[in-house]
């Protein structure tokens, strides 16, 4: 039977208002009849103390599982009484296991139940996050004693430890062609290729800092690949956008020209779209930057205009010559601030075994160069800013493209020797 909760007036305030509160969820876990309930109860008490004293009471340490150098985020409680004993003993440890998700994040309800039961039945807190910013399934709230047991049983189900520390981190891919009509590549295959190739670099941290792979099937970038990963693989196409003129005209007739201009053509970043006098659409595909806006607006409208006489196509659709764009150097915060990835490979096919081998080799070159040349606690994007994109491209064996020039040189004194 779960014990009564501590008095937490500050946390109780967070339950007021119209929005769901994490405090309510933690209280429910603390009152449930399971082995980790006391841990959650004491975590709430620790957090209440932090709100009162305005201090944090969690510190890092070293906790792991056999055979792995990373994947567990250790958290030890520093809140003690005047005798040096833990004030809230059941929250003395609150470690997190990072577990890799399936590519595309596909689960069955039975699998999810099995994972939850495995965590709770082995003394876990019951607090699970799907998914952390790196893509991991976060099993939050385990002790040093239970960490190995929880991992062993999750491993039996078929899951492996994710990345933590200065290592290759857990990768992410969008649901892609399994669900989305915007998909331009096999996102899951691309992610599995990269993760499987560099699994040792994930489980045994040996890099200057973290390295992330992410795969999105189109420029909508549902995985935030360009903004949050060092090696972003973005699905794209290099031929023309496919237009179903019958469906387009039906949409114009129904929605009106003002709607089309206000919501589609005028919002094209390169103004490459034009509605002709007969309401047909022409696109200057050479100037199309594949921003996805026109496809996003028309895609949910397609079903309204399909009739027996019309094929079940989209009003606008991606082209047939599909592949990927590779961007490098994306990151959040720290040191020099947020960075978007820089395009280093404008287009490459990703269909055959040779194609996948090529992207694996490129990723290997990037990791090796990063390991040898990055400073401690420096991300790929920060390294590129420091040494220059030209030196980086030469180091990984790619040709420099003039389109990569961000701005003209403004300093007249330039070193021309080797970097």
DSSP per position, 168-216: BPPPEE--GGGT-TT--S-HHHHHHHHHHHTHHHHHS--SSS-B-EEEE
- In-domain check, residue 65: yes
Whole-Å CA distances, 368 to 362, 380, 396: 10, 12, 9
pLDDT tens-digit readout, 310-322: 666 899 999 999 9
| Strand-pair category, 213-216 with 172-173 | parallel
Express as a percent the part of the chain with pLDDT over 70.
98
Structure tokens at 154: 């999750």
Report the alpha-carbon distance of residue 229 to residue 212 in Å, rounded: 5
Cross-strand partners of 316: 243
- In-domain check, residue 416: no
Whether residues 246 and 223 share a domain: the answer is: no
Whether residues 54 and 113 share a domain: the answer is: yes
- In-domain check, residue 415: no
- In-domain check, residue 389: yes
Report the alpha-carbon distance of residue 20 to residue 10 in Å, rounded: 16
pTM: 0.88
Whether residues 58 and 115 share a domain: the answer is: yes
CATH of the domain at 227: 3.30.413.10
Structure tokens at 127: 């607090």
- In-domain check, residue 409: no
Whether residues 271 and 224 share a domain: the answer is: no
Structure tokens at 228: 């949050």
Whether residues 301 and 334 share a domain: the answer is: no
Whether residues 295 and 397 share a domain: the answer is: no
Whether residues 61 and 111 share a domain: the answer is: yes
CATH of the domain at 29: 3.30.70.2500
- In-domain check, residue 183: yes
Q: Which of 259, 290, 317 delimits the end of a domain?
A: 317
Whether residues 16 and 121 share a domain: the answer is: yes
Q: How many domains does the chain have?
A: 3
Look at residue 25 in the predicted model and tell me its pLDDT.
93
Q: Which of 272, 288, 317 delimits the end of a domain?
A: 317
- In-domain check, residue 195: yes
Express as a percent the part of the chain with pLDDT over 90.
76
pLDDT tens-digit readout, 217-236: 999 999 999 999 999 999 99
Look at residue 235 in the predicted model and tell me its pLDDT.
96
Whether residues 137 and 187 share a domain: the answer is: no
For the sheet containing 322-328, what is the strand order?
A: 172-173, 213-216, 231-237, 322-328, 342-348
- In-domain check, residue 31: yes
Look at residue 311 in the predicted model and tell me its pLDDT.
62
Q: Which of 104, 126, 157 delimits the end of a domain?
A: 157
The number of helix segments (H) and strand segments (E) in the chain equals: 15, 15
pLDDT band at 417 (very low <50, low <70, confident <90, very high): confident
The stretch 331-360 carries a mean pLDDT of: 91
pLDDT tens-digit readout, 368-413: 999 999 999 999 999 998 998 889 999 999 988 887 777 777 777 7
Whether residues 230 and 251 share a domain: the answer is: no
Name the least confident of 94-98, 297-301, 307-311, 362-366. Answer: 307-311
CATH of the domain at 264: 3.30.70.20
Query: 137 lies in which domain range?
Result: 9-157
pLDDT tens-digit readout, 91-136: 999 999 999 999 989 999 999 999 999 999 999 999 999 988 788 9
Q: Where are the alpha helices (DSSP H) in 236-350?
A: 245-255, 257-263, 293-298, 302-305
Whether residues 226 and 248 share a domain: the answer is: no
Whether residues 206 and 348 share a domain: the answer is: yes
The number of beta carbons lying within 10 Å of the beta carbon of residue 158 is 8
């Amino acid at each position: 039977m779960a014990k009564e909760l501590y008095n937490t007036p500050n946390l109780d305030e967070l339950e007021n208002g119209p929005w769901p509160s994490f405090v309510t969820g933690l209280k429910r876990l603390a009152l449930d009849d399971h082995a980790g309930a006391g841990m959650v109860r004491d975590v709430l008490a620790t957090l209440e103390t932090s709100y009162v004293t305005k201090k944090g009471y969690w510190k890092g340490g070293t906790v792991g599982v056999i055979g792995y150098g990373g994947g567990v985020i250790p958290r030890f409680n520093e809140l003690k009484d005047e005798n040096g004993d833990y004030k809230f003993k059941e929250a003395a440890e609150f470690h997190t296991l990072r577990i890799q998700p399936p590519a595309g994040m596909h689960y069955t309800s039975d699998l999810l139940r099995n994972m939850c039961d495995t965590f709770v039945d082995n003394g876990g807190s019951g607090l699970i996050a799907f998914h952390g910013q790196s893509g991991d399934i976060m099993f939050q709230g385990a002790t040093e004693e239970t960490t190995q047991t929880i991992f062993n049983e999750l491993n039996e189900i078929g899951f492996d430890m994710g990345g933590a520390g200065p290592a290759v981190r857990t990768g992410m891919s969008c649901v892609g062609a399994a669900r989305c009509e915007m998909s331009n590549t096999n996102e899951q295959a691309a992610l599995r290729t990269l993760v499987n190739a560099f699994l040792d670099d994930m489980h045994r941290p040996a890099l200057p800092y973290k390295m992330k792979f992410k795969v999105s099937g189109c420029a909508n970038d549902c995985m935030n690949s360009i903004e949050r990963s060092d090696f972003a693989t973005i699905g794209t196409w290099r031929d023309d956008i496919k237009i179903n003129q019958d469906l387009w005209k039906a949409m114009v007739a129904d929605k009106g020209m003002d709607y089309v201009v206000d919501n589609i053509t005028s919002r094209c970043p390169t103004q490459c779209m034009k509605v002709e006098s007969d309401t047909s659409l022409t696109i200057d595909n050479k100037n199309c930057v594949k921003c996805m806006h026109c496809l996003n607006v028309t895609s949910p409208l397609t079903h309204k205009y399909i009739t027996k006489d019309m094929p079940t196509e989209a009003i606008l659709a991606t082209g047939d010559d599909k592949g990927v764009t590779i961007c490098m150097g994306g990151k959040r915060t720290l040191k020099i601030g947020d960075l978007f990835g820089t395009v280093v490979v404008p287009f490459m096919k990703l269909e055959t075994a040779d194609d996948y081998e090529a992207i694996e080799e490129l990723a290997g070159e990037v990791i090796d160069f990063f390991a040898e040349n990055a400073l401690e606690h420096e991300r790929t994007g920060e390294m590129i800013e420091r040494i220059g994109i030209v030196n980086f491209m030469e180091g990984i064996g790619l040709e420099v493209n003039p389109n990569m020039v961000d701005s003209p040189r403004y300093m007249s004194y330039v070193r021309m020797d080797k970097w």
